[in-house]
Amino acid sequence: MSLSLNEYIWQHRSDASLQRVAPLLLGVAQACSQIASAVRNAALNHASGAAGTDNIQGEAQQKLDVISNDIMVAATQELARVLASEEVEQVIAGNPTADLALVFDPLDGSSNLDVNISVGTIFSILSAPQGGSDEAVCLQSGTRQLCAGYALYGPATMLVITTGMGVNGFTYQEETGLFVLTHPDLRIAPQAQEFAINASNQRHWEQPIQAYIADCLEGRDGVRERDFNMRWVASMVAEVHRILLRGGVFLYPADSRAKTRNGKLRLLYEANPMAMLVEAAGGAASTGQMRLLAIEPTELHQRVPVILGAKDEVALIEGYFNQGNSKYGLAADTSGGISMRQAHPPSHQTLFETIFN
């Protein structure tokens, strides 16, 4: 018989890390089951469509962004000292006696809601020792996360979690209202034959990303000597879930546009939780030039480039960047973005062979 999340926590009662976060994790799970219901019934309850407001990033909020944020706050505010949400500019005060912080994206991929494509919730739990400001508590590197996970609202609602030692997936059972363990010990194969990237941005990419994707697209006729499939859902939860179950690599790189010169995805709410999950499943997560979990955050809504998934493939992509820094003259400009100046880069085949032969 499969274990419920509560039973799983009890069975692993000797795991001090899991026991410390258990009450808050169960609060998050409760919120996710409620968000799943809100998403499922949005059209029937006239809760679909734009809310008419923008979030701190200047992105148009969907009604369900606001509803999901409110659900998560209500379910967890008494269980955490401080909350930080992608949808809210400042941190949210919680229970001052609690010793944990929760950071979350209440509804990732919400632009897909109107066309009924999978969306999700992403979260991270951090230690919140007494002393220091509430915001400072949230500005910890990803290596200090105690727990990370996401809920996927698709044909089935799933909760996927890690405390750093393995990744487990729980499926929501409507009849009992419980999350039941259905996908234990998820692992990512080190090699990949699928990549996920928004190819419509190709003309804006850094040269190393352009070279990597070009080599993949040449398939068995090129230097990679095997064919690749491309995927893109525009929902990070859906993309990472597929990688955990089927393998592959996900890329949302920085590019030459002003709004995305430092990346598109948020470090605290999206990159760090997903990086912890991917690493715990045997994968890797990088900006292309450094480990994602090693970044020291400087602001709540900081953006970063994200490359994650199959360990060998991520290392290979980092090789394109390492070679590019010497061959192409890529450099950080004075505003902290990416300088796109290239001086007649070598052919893709020459680049690949130089790095990996």
Asked, for residue 189, whether it belongs to a domain, the answer is: no
CA distance 257 to 37: 37
Q: Is the pLDDT of residue 355 over 70?
A: no
Asked, for residue 81, whether it belongs to a domain, the answer is: yes
Entry pTM? 0.89
| SS3 label, residue 231 | strand
Proportion of the chain above pLDDT 90, given as a percent: 79
Asked, for residue 290, whether it belongs to a domain, the answer is: yes
Same domain, 232 and 349: yes
How confident is the model at residue 114, as a pLDDT?
85
Asked, for residue 50, whether it belongs to a domain, the answer is: yes
Same domain, 202 and 141: no
Question: Do 264 and 252 form a contact (C-beta atoms < 8 A)?
Answer: yes
Q: Check residues 349 and 47 and name the one with the higher pLDDT.
A: 47
Asked, for residue 161, whether it belongs to a domain, the answer is: yes
Same domain, 175 and 46: yes
CA distance 68 to 285: 27
User: How confident is residue 330, by pLDDT bands cut at 50, 70 and 90?
Assistant: very low
Q: CATH number for the domain including 104?
A: 3.30.540.10
Helix crossing, 16-40 with 63-76: angle to 10°?
A: 150
Asked, for residue 188, whether it belongs to a domain, the answer is: no
How confident is the model at residue 111, as a pLDDT?
85
Q: Which residues participate in the annotated binding site?
A: 86, 105, 107-111, 198, 264, 270
Q: What are phi and psi of 72, to 5 degrees?
A: -65, -45
The pair of structure tokens assigned to 274 is 């997903």
Same domain, 224 and 117: no
* pLDDT per position as a tens digit, 139-166: 999 999 999 999 999 999 999 999 999 9
Q: CATH number for the domain including 341?
A: 3.40.190.80
Last residue of some domain: 160, 183, 206? 183
Closest CA to 245 of 341, 181, 309: 309
Same domain, 144 and 200: no
* pLDDT per position as a tens digit, 94-149: 999 999 999 999 999 988 888 889 999 999 999 999 888 899 999 999 999 999 99
Same domain, 95 and 143: yes
Same domain, 155 and 214: no
Same domain, 137 and 255: no
Q: Is the pLDDT of residue 354 over 70?
A: no
Same domain, 16 and 144: yes
Q: Which residues participate in the annotated binding site for substrate?
A: 108-111, 198, 264
Same domain, 112 and 215: no
Can you tell me which residue has the tokens 């727990």? 147
Q: Which residues participate in the annotated binding site for Mg(2+)?
A: 86, 105, 107-108, 270
Asked, for residue 277, whether it belongs to a domain, the answer is: yes
Count of domains for the chain: 2
Same domain, 253 and 132: no
- Overall average pLDDT of the 12-35 stretch: 97
Last residue of some domain: 141, 162, 183? 183
- The parent domain of residue 271 ranges over 194-356
Last residue of some domain: 183, 207, 234? 183
Asked, for residue 171, whether it belongs to a domain, the answer is: yes
Same domain, 41 and 79: yes
Closest CA to 239 of 227, 258, 252, 255: 252
